[in-house]
Structure 1
Amino acid sequence: MNHPNLRRRTALVAGAVLITTALVAPPGSAAPTAPPPGSEATSMGLPTFAPGRYVVTLADKPLATYQGGVSGLKATKPAKGSKVDVNSTDSKRYRSFLATKHAQVAAKVGAKVSRDYSTALNAFTASLTSQQVNELSKTAGVVSVVPDQLHKALDDRKPADFLKLSGNSGVWKALGGTAEAGKGVVVGVVDTGVWPESASFAGPALGTKPPTAADPYRPYRAGTTTVMQKADGNTFTGSCETGESFTADLCNTKLISAKYFGDGWLNLVPPDQRADYASPRDGNGHGTHTASTAAGKTGIDVAESGINFGTISGVAPAAKVAVYKALWEGKDGKNSGGLTSDILAAIDQAVADGVDVINYSVGSIFESAHTDPVQLAFLSAASAGIFVSAAGGNSGPYASTLDNTSPWVTTVGASTVAPYAGTVVLGDGQKYAGVSTSIAVTTGNRPLVTGPAVKTATSSDADALGCLPGTLDPAKTAGKIVVCERGVGARVDKSAEVLRAGGVGMVMLNLFDQDALGDSHVVPTVHLNVPSALTVKAYAATAGATAELVPGNTSGQNEPYPQMADFSSRGPSLSSHGDLLKPDLAAPGVNVLAAVAPPSNDGHSFAFYSGTSMAAPHVAGLAALYLAKHPDWSPMAVKSALMTTTTDVLSSTGAVDSDPFARGAGEVQPAKMLDPGLVYDSGDADWLSYLEGSGVATGTGVPAVDPSDYNTPSIAVGQLLGTQTITRRVTAVTPGLYRATVSVPGMKATVTPSILNFTAAGQTKTFTVKLTLDTGSSGETTSGWLTWQGAGKTVRSPIAVVPTSVLTPNEVTGSGASGTAAFEATAGKAGSPIRAYGVVSAPLVPGAVAAGTADADLPNYPVTVTAQTKALQWNIKTVDPAGSIWLVLYKVVNGQMQLLSFVGNGSNQASATLAAPAPGVWGVLAITLSNPPGASTTEYTMQTNVVTSTSGSALKVNPPVAPAAFQPFQVTASWSGLPTGQRSTGFVEFPNRAGTVVTIN
């Protein structure tokens, strides 16, 4: 079988290394989630830290959360509904106290403080040696010592219309018009800076006269400080920081503050390696895009490359923008990003300035722990009443790839809106619609060719297929439409190569299921996804092929929307062990048109970006709309209102998307968010109890709670043994009688009480949801909804549960022609039957694969799984002991190969095992990265053991039933008469398809 949609092997190898990387921390120190820059493993498996810049977090509370306790120092935590006052006498005294402790702690190891943090986080940065890091890690009062890491900005038709913000019946109109939508609210954007000349940030100059009763929220300048009275009664104080190509007069009554934070990055990266401004000016475009999306002006006309895109608007057009540049651009992308210390400084300043909302479109390929300094700074921000919207990440569609998953953060996934479309009309009359933002008029019917057909004499077919720079021959390409494959090389560079060679258009092809993106190409371009892409590729390779590129979708087939973007990162969250559903919700994040920085965007003032980076500012803007109307609401109450009023996300077939780990609560629905009926609120005590329940000692004395009981508007249980009861509380916004309905397929679910009667707004009531495994398959996620209906409102919460009938190892091993293998199990129900199936010892099938084999030609070993299949195991071993072999496990989903994992360690053998696989086609691909010395291929034997309900009874098991519920007991599998020259596979099955694979020899 050929699979042209298979991802490149290099990506598979890199992904496997990243996913499997683990690090053991020294005693007394916090365990990093990934190896820090410059660290290396010793022979004992412990890290040695290279000298460098570190962030040291201390146990004392920062200003935003300090409630007293230190003799002579009064509390600085603001009262409910207020923001932290960093200029009060008490705050200044406490800040001095923290700074003194920072210096004392640093001095204990002979270090000096580089920068203090005290508002959102009690921490300091310092340049440390390896020995100093180790000593500080063991120092009393030190919470963590983490390297000052580089954080990357995520790459990320009109969302305002799609979200029903605009129009006579839109949300803006209901709020009093665009002049009132977000009025009195400040959105802080921690990102790459801002392009202040953009029309999205235009506004009158800042005056010096205080606001009047007729215009209470007008910002003004007091000396060098920007002052603004806000809707919540507090005051924002910022400034317009001068620097390279940035003067104070670039701020105005829209862009009211702009600051930059680069102590770490500017010291790390020499001037000749920078491609940025030492000022708040945006050297990338990402920060300008996110800021204008969240709170850009309304009705901005956009015309780029001769195409009029009409007008665009920010989500909260009346809100003010405060920019905190903490991410930087290096030459050729090297060193681009933001160091932890600079990001912390930006967050610290945003909290001190008094923003109402923070947008954080930054993430990592590793999930940040809840105790990560940036996440703790956001905890303080949320504690101070600031709503934090954060991008979930762009590492989808693979599981557990999310970042920014702390409960006090609103984690946002990316979804689609109606696409800007173009159609490829082939010479044979077939029409295929894709995404296009670059076709103003039809190209006319032109020759259609693939890259190799028009390549230069010195270019390889592989490079020409991707239209890499310098690969196309102008003498062959002129006047033609070129088909270019997505993959190696930047997408926009491909159209640039077509233009250089004289081509008049491009069709860009996804060779496996991916998002089609609306890049600003320099020639008319249509981006096609599979299967259309494969059909067009085959046609282009035929003699005399022609095509015409036309604007719009003329194919007669429309793509359903909103869908979750393929790149949008998925849960379950590893930091919460699946007990907290993330992402929280979804918002538009594909082909979003917004302002950018022209120098770094080919001269464009506006561009289409895609990513969860683009989704997060939509939610930040919605929060600003909310806080303008309800300035006294807590961040989590706003989050609840957004989550419980969502609408469904769709699949590519138009059916409802059933994956809660992709869409969370669903697509934001602004038309309903302002009237939620009930809210699930939470605050400091809830977050601390959640952390205690997650094994984090907060030192606050709050009681630990099961993370599944954290009061969020969703329910998640990462591993439910038999039955579990979850507790929630809701507060009435609209009083009335509410009735509960709950449904989770394969589970018995009951709500107690199922009727809640609220006689007044503000009343809070508690209820429980009991979930018990019924017919669902053990170990397989099931999802459903809990819905409260009453007072004309519908309050919907997603449920995601991984039930199990038994806790048991996935696999055990044994050896010998006869023998036993014992393991421990815990059942959720006494008397549960235990059965044995197999064993199976399939013949060894010879095969060979060469290093560098094309993806589509890798040896393939598929198995069609039915309901009778109990277990699968593929065993591969090279003939030459010096060989190296790997397996790639996949499943066929909707006709496409979905790669699941890369199996192997570089030795001469590998094994992929599945217990109770779901029906469908599963398989492995054999791959080698290098052949044995002197060999042109790697020869191997492959064994495919398929255990079914009719695989015999050579395997015996004792006991035959579980003796008790929730009590560990020993299970023993035994066998006799087996061959010892090859592997045999059996399966011990518990109820609901749970079980343990027994691998023998």
Structure 2
Amino acid sequence: MGSVLQLAHDKGNGSYVVYLGRNSHGSESSSALDISKKTESYHELLGSCMKSKEKAKEAIFYSYSSYINGFAATLEDEEVDEISKRPEVASIFPNEESELHTTRSWEFLGLERNGKIPPDSIWVKARFGEDVIIGNLDTGVWPESESFSDEGMGPIPSKWKGYCDTNDRVKCNRKLIGARYFNKGFQASVGQPLDPSYNTARDTDGHGTHTLATAGGRFVSGANFLGSANGTAKGGSPNARVASYKVCWRGCNDADVLAAFDAAIQDGVDILSVSLGSRPRHYFGHGISMGSFHAVKNGILVACSAGNSGGQGGRVSNVAPWILTVAASTIDRNFASNVILGNNRLFKGLSFNTNTLPARKYYPLVYSVDAKAANVSALSAQSCSPESLDPEKVKGKIVYCLHASVEMSWVVAQAGGVGVILADQLPQATISPQAHFLPTAHVSAADGLSILAYIYSTRHPVAYISGATEVGAVAAPIMASFSSSGPNAINPEILKPDITAPGVDILAAYTEASGPTSQSFDKPIFHSILYLATTTSNVRQPIATDFLQESNPFDYGSGHIRPSRAMDPGLVYDLNPKDYLNFLCSIGYNATEMSAFADEPYNCPSKNSSLLDLNYPSITVPNLSGKVTLTRTLKNVGTPGLYTARINAPEGITVKVEPMRLKFNKTNEEKSFKVTLKAEENASDFYAFGGLVWSDGVHNVRSPIVVKKKDAGSA
């Protein structure tokens, strides 16, 4: 496949999305006649560039003709140059790949208590998401999962216009009401026809089934994973209807993603779950950004994951302000698998519960290097590589291996071992539980060295492994090591991610075509849930990073979701499509670029609007020089009340709010206020963090304040 891709590149052709901007029918869905006329117009436009209408028909593999106006085609370099000159073309960009961002959760979020759902839970008031339609752009669905049973569910809502692709024995029902696949963009990127096995909405990866079940799976009692996390699994909206749009194959190509957005809008979804992303790209050249804008314009909430790049800042993806971008953090559940040595020292480890050894029975403990097979290097045995161990030296023993992988437990099991201790080699490595073939404890590098020291200082070293699921005794949330963080690489004035949600070791449905691993699934957690957020953990400390250092809004946005508080938030920062168009005006989009988003020619405000004045629920100023004043507007969605501002100024920054009090006399009333930020002389050139809270004594509406003083040496 790689040679085919290289050949296509060498020949100077590739697949592209050609976006034509506004629809002639505005935001209304196209009729069958409209679709036919639009498709014909695409053939004529591209045919005029290729000097052949027939060649254009062969080149176009997607016609976006419902809510999105454009097509995807395989083009030569000179054809790209030619069509990009046409005034009808708002944007043309390569068919790039995005990547996948891969039970106790709901109790941790306060929706249930001790396995029971209290009457004041938002679940009850929202009727468990009854008849909300959740669409999922991912790797497909395993329709036979119990999470998608339709037992007891009523008729499919009349607004649903979608259907089920029944290839590969895929069957839909009153719960799973749609399943479709989109692979033409992937085929174009490969440059050759796909095997017929690709023509299916069935999930063979597991990611799509898991994210869809997390968002809208039904109640499944007796759920567990290898004996861990026992309980009743359920999604965020158990009574919602769900629809799967398979767009990810080897990767998730822009052309397929955009086709799925177009279809989902036409089908009638209410919420779209998108757990995939790519490098940050400008909005008019990014399939997810463009597709999500059209979805939001049609009243659909689009929630995307922040990404799995972790580590370095500025790598958060899905940064458009109309996308709800979600980071990943832990819950208060831990899959402990501890090592107890013969000297009674205990070392904490992790593993899913595969421990079948008798309680407190010690077994001989051996370092894998001392149990290596003949003619095998010590380096190979150290990492318990296949066929590196001597069964006679391993049988009946717990084996200590360096590094950590599921394969190592298989190697030890094949050699007759009864358990495994896997020690990280790097001090900064993050430990995650995995499913192993033997009782296993995955320990830190430091603890691994202590265990190794015990082995070499004791004539007959012994140990046993003790594991159990721990709930409630673990500090949480802690930011996941893989969760991508800000600042926003495209527009740093827009804080991303927006919020954090549970996304580590979440139990939900999976495909039967492959086994689950420890994965990240943050975004589906809250799909039909509005929120207020918190920046403290369950032990009343600031949310921490995986290194237990204090995290900041670049990690968690406005904070961790608190769904039940969303039933009565008091005030909200409201945004609509016009606000987003003015945002695009403020960053300098020209008429052609604006046409990619507006249904008709859009006149930007005569007075240059400031990017800082977008009514976003956070305040971010990345280059503060002197002082700046910005405006925000709050809408009352509760009872009348008097709200007072409470300021936590970032270090080195003076913050002034005018007025300091806002009185609301009725529901839906709006009040504006101004915030003036001024850098003090001793202010650092690094980002500083604070916050603004509006409170009436019952409701607390918080906005992060993120400020960086402009470097005196910068232009």
Instruction: Bin the TM-score by the shorter chain.
Output: 0.7 to 0.9
Q: Distance in 2 between matches of 1:118 and 1:146?
A: 18
For the 8 Å contact 1:389–1:411, the answer to whether it is kept is yes
Q: Distance in 1 between matches of 2:223 and 2:97?
A: 34
Matches within 5 A, 1:34-45: none
What corresponds to 2:181 in structure 1? 260
Q: Distance in 1 between matches of 2:150 and 2:546?
A: 45
- In structure 2, do the counterparts of structure 1 residues 324 and 692 end up closer, same or farther at CA, with 3 Å as the change threshold? same
Matches within 5 A, 1:891-930: none
- In structure 2, do the counterparts of structure 1 residues 676 and 122 end up closer, same or farther at CA, with 3 Å as the change threshold? same
Q: Distance in 1 between matches of 2:454 and 2:394?
A: 17
- In structure 2, do the counterparts of structure 1 residues 255 and 537 end up closer, same or farther at CA, with 3 Å as the change threshold? farther
Q: Distance in 2 between matches of 1:172 and 1:193?
A: 35
Q: Distance in 2 between matches of 1:808 and 1:552?
A: 56
Residue 257 of structure 2 aligns to which amino acid in structure 1? I
Give the gaps of 5 or more residues in structure 2.
51-55, 596-601
1:323 aligns with 2:244: yes
What corresponds to 1:398 in structure 2? 312
- Match for 1:362 among 271, 276, 281? 276
For residues 807-851 of structure 1, the C-alpha deviation after alignment (integer angstroms, 9 at most, x for no partner) is: 315xxxxxxxxxxxxxxx6xxxxxxxxxxxxxxxxxxxxxxxxxx
What corresponds to 2:544 in structure 1? 651
Q: Distance in 1 between matches of 2:11 and 2:118?
A: 52
Q: Distance in 1 between matches of 2:485 and 2:570?
A: 29
For the 8 Å contact 2:691–2:702, the answer to whether it is kept is yes
**Cα root mean square deviation, aligned:** 3.1
For the 8 Å contact 1:417–1:561, the answer to whether it is kept is yes
What corresponds to 1:292 in structure 2? 213
- In structure 2, do the counterparts of structure 1 residues 303 and 730 end up closer, same or farther at CA, with 3 Å as the change threshold? closer
Q: Distance in 1 between matches of 2:227 and 2:524?
A: 28
1:478 aligns with 2:399: no
What corresponds to 2:13 in structure 1? 51
1:619 aligns with 2:526: yes
- In structure 2, do the counterparts of structure 1 residues 718 and 240 end up closer, same or farther at CA, with 3 Å as the change threshold? same
Q: CA deviation at 1:656?
A: 8.4
What corresponds to 1:244 in structure 2? 168
Q: Distance in 2 between matches of 1:241 and 1:315?
A: 26
Q: How many residues align?
A: 680
Q: CA deviation at 1:608?
A: 5.2
- In structure 2, do the counterparts of structure 1 residues 129 and 456 end up closer, same or farther at CA, with 3 Å as the change threshold? farther
What corresponds to 2:684 in structure 1? 778
Matches within 5 A, 1:25-424: 50-59=12-21, 61-62=22-23, 75-77=25-27, 86=29, 91-92=31-32, 94-96=34-36, 98-110=38-50, 111-112=56-57, 113-154=60-101, 156=102, 158-167=104-113, 170=117, 174-175=121-122, 177=124, 180-204=127-151, 218-220=154-156, 228-229=157-158, 235-246=159-170, 250-266=171-187, 278-305=199-226, 309-328=230-249, 336-364=250-278, 366-371=279-284, 372-418=286-332, 419-424=334-339
- Match for 2:674 among 768, 779, 786? 768
* SS of aligned partner of 2:674: strand
For the 8 Å contact 1:776–1:803, the answer to whether it is kept is no
What corresponds to 2:518 in structure 1? 609
Q: Distance in 1 between matches of 2:196 and 2:557?
A: 37
Query: Highest relative contact order (Cα 8 Å, sep 6+), 1 or 2?
Result: 2
1:709 aligns with 2:613: yes
- In structure 2, do the counterparts of structure 1 residues 53 and 551 end up closer, same or farther at CA, with 3 Å as the change threshold? same
Q: CA deviation at 1:108?
A: 2.5
Q: CA deviation at 1:194?
A: 0.8
Q: CA deviation at 1:201?
A: 1.0
- In structure 2, do the counterparts of structure 1 residues 97 and 771 end up closer, same or farther at CA, with 3 Å as the change threshold? farther
* SS of aligned partner of 1:408: coil
Matches within 5 A, 1:936-955: none
1:552 aligns with 2:468: yes
- In structure 2, do the counterparts of structure 1 residues 177 and 671 end up closer, same or farther at CA, with 3 Å as the change threshold? closer
Q: TM-score, normalised by structure 1?
A: 0.64
Q: Distance in 2 between matches of 1:504 and 1:561?
A: 33
Q: Distance in 1 between matches of 2:122 and 2:215?
A: 17
Q: TM-score, normalised by structure 2?
A: 0.88
Q: Distance in 2 between matches of 1:657 and 1:787?
A: 20
For the 8 Å contact 2:103–2:508, the answer to whether it is kept is no
Give the gaps of 5 or more residues in structure 1.
1-36, 41-46, 63-69, 78-83, 206-214, 221-227, 230-234, 329-335, 602-606, 627-637, 810-824, 826-1001
What corresponds to 1:909 in structure 2? none
For residues 358-401 of structure 1, the C-alpha deviation after alignment (integer angstroms, 9 at most, x for no partner) is: 0001122x223322122111011011111111111111121111
Residue 789 of structure 1 aligns to which amino acid in structure 2? S
Residue 642 of structure 2 aligns to which amino acid in structure 1? L
For the 8 Å contact 2:104–2:229, the answer to whether it is kept is no
Q: Distance in 2 between matches of 1:558 and 1:533?
A: 24
- In structure 2, do the counterparts of structure 1 residues 664 and 348 end up closer, same or farther at CA, with 3 Å as the change threshold? same
* SS of aligned partner of 1:665: coil
Q: Distance in 2 between matches of 1:55 and 1:272?
A: 19
What corresponds to 1:966 in structure 2? none
What corresponds to 1:495 in structure 2? 409
Q: Distance in 2 between matches of 1:240 and 1:285?
A: 19
1:436 aligns with 2:351: yes
For the 8 Å contact 2:228–2:469, the answer to whether it is kept is no
For residues 536-584 of structure 1, the C-alpha deviation after alignment (integer angstroms, 9 at most, x for no partner) is: 3544555543321102389x996521100111111101111x2111111
Q: CA deviation at 1:771?
A: 1.1
What corresponds to 1:28 in structure 2? none
Which range is displaced more, 537-546 or 134-143?
A: 537-546
Q: Distance in 2 between matches of 1:658 and 1:799?
A: 14
What corresponds to 1:535 in structure 2? 450
What corresponds to 1:874 in structure 2? none
Say which structure is richer in strand: 1
Q: CA deviation at 1:786?
A: 0.7
- Match for 1:525 among 427, 440, 449? 440
Q: CA deviation at 1:520?
A: 1.8
- Match for 1:740 among 628, 645, 669? 645
Q: CA deviation at 1:317?
A: 0.6
What corresponds to 1:690 in structure 2? 583
For the 8 Å contact 1:560–1:653, the answer to whether it is kept is no
- In structure 2, do the counterparts of structure 1 residues 102 and 441 end up closer, same or farther at CA, with 3 Å as the change threshold? same
Residue 609 of structure 1 aligns to which amino acid in structure 2? S
Q: Identity of counterpart residues, as a percentage?
A: 33
1:718 aligns with 2:622: yes
Residue 99 of structure 1 aligns to which amino acid in structure 2? T
Q: CA deviation at 1:449?
A: 3.4
Matches within 5 A, 1:561-580: 561-576=476-491, 578-580=492-494
* SS of aligned partner of 1:595: coil
Q: Distance in 2 between matches of 1:470 and 1:56?
A: 53
What corresponds to 2:369 in structure 1? 452
Q: Distance in 1 between matches of 2:469 and 2:17?
A: 52
* SS of aligned partner of 2:107: helix
Q: Distance in 2 between matches of 1:540 and 1:690?
A: 63
For the 8 Å contact 2:223–2:232, the answer to whether it is kept is yes
- In structure 2, do the counterparts of structure 1 residues 92 and 566 end up closer, same or farther at CA, with 3 Å as the change threshold? same
Query: Which has the greater radius of gyration?
Result: 1
Q: CA deviation at 1:769?
A: 1.2
- In structure 2, do the counterparts of structure 1 residues 524 and 54 end up closer, same or farther at CA, with 3 Å as the change threshold? same
Q: CA deviation at 1:320?
A: 1.0
Q: CA deviation at 1:715?
A: 1.1
Residue 407 of structure 1 aligns to which amino acid in structure 2? P
For residues 685-710 of structure 1, the C-alpha deviation after alignment (integer angstroms, 9 at most, x for no partner) is: 11112122223221522235333322
- In structure 2, do the counterparts of structure 1 residues 655 and 53 end up closer, same or farther at CA, with 3 Å as the change threshold? closer
Q: Distance in 1 between matches of 2:457 and 2:43?
A: 73
Q: Distance in 2 between matches of 1:582 and 1:137?
A: 32
Residue 54 of structure 1 aligns to which amino acid in structure 2? Y
Q: Distance in 2 between matches of 1:797 and 1:115?
A: 42
Q: CA deviation at 1:114?
A: 2.0
